[in-house]
C-alpha cells in the first residue's frame, strides 16, 4: 500500500496538491551527473585523486593544488538523447538534440616569492568558472491502448472519494489544475439519484498517449582556492553556486477506440511547469601522495541550499464528443509558489595509480543518501512530502572508474560509471550506467580533447494512479560528444 501511495504522489499527476512539489522533484534536483571538460568526461569523472583538471573543482577541490601554471579551458558538449517506451505491449520512441556548454574556467597559479623554493607551500592556486552538473533536456513519448479504465475514471474516483458536491468543485483549489478542468469540460457527470460521479469510459476502450518534453540544466559556478604542501599533500576549497532551470511541457491524450464508447471522442490535457532556483554549497578536499605512483583523495560536500525556489505552472483540458455542443476547452489559473529545498550531503573517496609517464588508472566512490533531501516553506508544511522522501529513497553510492595512457603528445582515455538505484522499492529502478572514451593532445601551452559518453537508464512511469494502470517501461539513452580547448601560460 505504501508503494502505491508513493508512486501516486511522486510520479503521476496528483489531484490533491495545492502546490507542485513532490518527492520526485527532490530526487531530480539531488541526482548529480558531474560533467565538464572532455578529459574529465573521457574518464567518466574518475578524477578525485588525479587532479589538475578544472572539473575537479566541483568534485574534489584539492585537484586545484596540482596545477603548475595558469590555465584557461572551454568545453562544448552537444547531446543526443532518446527514450524508448513500452506500454501495454506498444513500443514507441523519440529523441532530442541539444547543444550546450560543458565548462568554462580559469586557473591562476601563484608560486612562493622565495627564489630558493624552500617554502613548504609550493604553490597556491585560485580558480573560477562553471561546470555542468545535470542536463534535463529530453523527449519521451508513451502510447498504447487501455482496455480497463481511463484518466476520466481516475478523476471520477477522486471526486467520489472526496464526497464533494458538484457546486463546490470549481472552488476547490486542490482540483483547479486537473479534476475541475475535466468536470467543466463535460468529461465527468453526476448522478443525483445515486449521488455519485461517473464518466463515459469507466472500463477503458481508449487509446492513450503522452508526450513529455523537458528542458534545462543545473550549472554550477565554482570559486576555488587550494595549494600544494611539499609536493605530498594537496588541499582545496570550493564555494559552489548552482543555478537550476527546469521546464516541463506535457500533452496527455485519450481517444475512443472506434465504436467502443458512446458520446466521447477524445480529450487532451496539457501541463506546463517552470522551476528556477539558485543555491549555495561548500566543498573541501585533500589529495595525499605517499609515493610517486599512488594518490589518495577525499572530499566532502555540504548540502546544497536553495533558499528561493520558484515554481510556475498551468494546465488546460480540451474535450470532443459526438455532439459538438458538448465540446469544451478549459484553462486553469496560473499557479505560482516559492519554497526552499535542501539537497543531500555528499562524500567521496578516490584512489589513483600513476604508471610513470605512461598513464594512470583511477577510481572514485561517492556516497549520497537521497532520503536526506528536504522541502520547506514559511507558508505550508511539507511533512507529508518529506516523509515520502525519507521513506522511499536511499543510495548505495556511485562508482566511477577511468584510465588514461600517453602516446608521445597524445592521450587515449576510457571510463565507466555506475549510479545506484535511489529507490527503496524496486518499483521504479533508476540505475544509470555510463561508458566513455576519448583522445587528447597535449603541448607546452595548448591542449585539445574530445570525448564520447554513452549512458543508459531504465525507469517505470505511470500515466496516473498505479493501482489502475500498468507502468510504461522507459529506457533512456544519451550520447554526448565533448570538445575542450585550453591554454597554459
| pLDDT of amino acid 425 | 76
- What is the pLDDT, as a whole number, of residue 7? 39
Average pLDDT over every residue of 274-292: 97
Residue 15 predicted with pLDDT over 90: no
Q: Can you name the residues that pair with 486 across neighbouring β-strands?
A: 73, 447
Q: Residue 187's pLDDT is what?
A: 97
Superfamily of domain 2-488: Outer membrane protein transport protein (OMPP1/FadL/TodX) (2.40.160.60)
Nearest to 227 by CA among 64, 71, 466: 64
pLDDT above 80: residue 114: no
Residue indicated by cell numbers 467502443: 260
pLDDT at residue 396, rounded to an integer: 82
Q: How many CB atoms lie within 10 A of CB 209?
A: 19
- What average pLDDT score do residues 88-98 get? 92
Residue 16 confidence (pLDDT) above 70: no
50 compared with 13, residue with greater pLDDT: 50
* Predicted local confidence at residue 395, as pLDDT: 80
For the segment 321-352, what is each residue's pLDDT rounded down to a tens digit?
999 999 999 999 999 999 999 999 999 999 99
Instruction: Kindly list the domain boundaries of the chain, sorted by start residue.
Output: 2-488
Q: What is the pLDDT of residue 8?
A: 37
Strand ranges (DSSP E) for 48-147? 71-76, 79-87, 90-98, 101-110, 121-135, 138-146
Q: What's the pTM value of the predicted model, to 2 decimals?
A: 0.90
Phi, psi of 418 (to 5 degrees): -130, 125
Q: Which residues contact 235 (CB under 8 A, 6 or more apart)?
A: 62, 65, 226, 227, 229, 284, 285, 286, 287
Is residue 38 pLDDT above 90, yes or no? yes
pLDDT tens-digit profile of 400-443? Answer: 999 999 999 999 999 999 999 999 876 667 899 999 999 999 99
**What is the crossing angle of helices 2-10 and 23-30, to 10°?**
70
Cα 389 from Cα 472, distance rounded (Å): 23
205, 259 in Cβ contact below 8 A? no
Distance between CA 337 and CA 309 in Å, rounded?
8
Q: What are the C-alpha distances in Å from 148 to residues 154, 178, 205, 468, 469?
A: 11, 21, 7, 8, 8
How large is the average pLDDT for residues 158-164? 95
User: CA-to-CA distance for 263 and 150, rounded, in angstroms?
Assistant: 15
Amino acid at each position: 500500500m505504501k508503494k502505491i501511495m508513493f508512486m501516486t504522489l511522486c510520479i503521476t499527476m496528483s489531484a490533491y496538491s495545492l502546490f507542485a512539489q513532490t518527492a520526485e522533484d527532490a530526487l531530480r534536483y539531488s541526482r548529480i551527473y558531474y560533467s565538464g571538460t572532455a578529459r574529465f568526461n573521457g574518464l567518466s569523472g574518475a578524477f578525485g585523486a588525479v587532479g589538475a583538471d578544472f572539473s575537479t573543482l566541483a568534485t574534489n577541490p584539492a585537484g586545484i593544488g596540482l596545477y603548475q601554471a595558469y590555465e584557461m579551458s572551454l568545453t562544448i558538449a552537444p547531446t543526443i538523447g532518446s527514450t524508448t517506451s513500452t506500454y501495454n505491449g506498444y513500443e514507441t520512441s523519440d529523441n532530442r538534440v541539444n547543444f550546450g556548454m560543458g565548462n568554462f574556467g580559469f586557473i591562476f597559479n601563484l608560486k612562493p616569492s622565495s627564489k630558493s623554493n624552500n617554502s613548504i607551500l609550493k604553490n597556491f592556486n585560485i580558480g573560477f568558472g562553471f561546470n555542468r552538473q545535470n542536463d534535463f533536456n529530453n523527449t519521451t513519448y508513451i502510447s498504447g491502448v487501455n482496455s480497463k479504465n481511463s484518466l476520466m475514471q481516475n478523476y471520477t474516483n477522486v471526486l467520489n472519494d472526496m464526497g464533494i458536491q458538484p457546486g463546490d468543485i470549481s472552488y476547490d483549489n486542490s482540483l483547479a489544475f486537473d479534476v475541475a478542468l475535466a468536470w467543466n469540460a463535460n468529461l465527468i457527470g453526476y448522478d443525483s439519484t445515486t449521488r455519485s460521479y461517473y464518466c463515459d469510459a469507466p472500463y477503458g476502450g481508449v487509446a492513450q498517449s503522452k508526450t513529455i518534453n523537458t528542458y534545462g540544466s543545473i550549472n554550477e559556478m565554482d570559486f576555488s582556492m587550494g595549494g600544494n604542501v611539499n609536493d605530498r599533500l594537496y588541499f582545496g576549497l570550493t564555494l559552489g553556486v548552482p543555478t537550476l532551470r527546469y521546464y516541463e511541457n506535457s500533452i496527455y491524450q485519450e481517444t475512443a477506440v472506434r465504436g467502443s464508447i458512446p458520446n466521447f471522442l477524445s480529450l487532451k490535457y496539457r501541463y506546463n511547469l517552470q522551476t528556477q532556483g539558485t543555491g549555495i554549497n561548500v566543498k573541501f578536499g585533500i589529495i595525499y601522495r605517499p609515493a610517486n605512483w599512488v594518490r589518495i583523495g577525499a572530499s566532502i560536500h555540504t548540502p546544497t541550499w536553495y533558499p528561493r525556489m520558484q515554481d510556475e505552472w498551468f494546465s488546460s483540458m480540451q474535450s470532443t464528443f459526438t455532439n459538438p455542443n458538448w465540446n469544451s476547452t478549459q484553462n486553469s489559473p496560473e499557479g505560482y509558489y516559492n519554497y526552499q529545498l535542501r539537497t543531500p550531503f555528499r562524500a567521496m573517496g578516490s584512489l589513483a595509480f600513476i604508471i610513470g609517464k605512461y598513464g594512470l588508472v583511477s577510481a572514485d566512490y561517492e556516497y549520497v543518501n537521497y532520503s536526506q533531501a528536504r522541502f520547506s516553506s514559511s507558508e505550508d508544511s511539507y511533512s507529508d512530502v518529506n516523509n515520502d522522501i525519507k521513506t522511499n529513497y536511499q543510495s548505495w553510492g556511485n562508482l566511477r572508474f577511468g584510465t588514461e595512457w600517453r602516446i608521445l603528445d597524445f592521450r587515449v582515455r576510457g571510463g565507466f560509471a555506475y549510479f545506484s538505484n535511489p529507490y527503496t522499492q524496486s518499483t521504479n529502478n533508476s540505475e544509470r550506467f555510463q561508458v566513455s572514451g576519448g583522445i587528447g593532445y597535449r603541448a607546452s601551452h595548448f591542449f585539445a580533447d574530445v570525448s564520447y559518453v554513452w549512458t543508459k537508464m531504465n525507469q517505470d512511469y505511470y500515466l496516473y494512479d498505479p493501482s489502475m494502470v500498468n507502468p510504461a517501461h522507459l529506457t533512456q539513452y544519451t550520447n554526448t560528444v565533448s570538445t575542450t580547448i585550453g591554454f597554459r601560460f
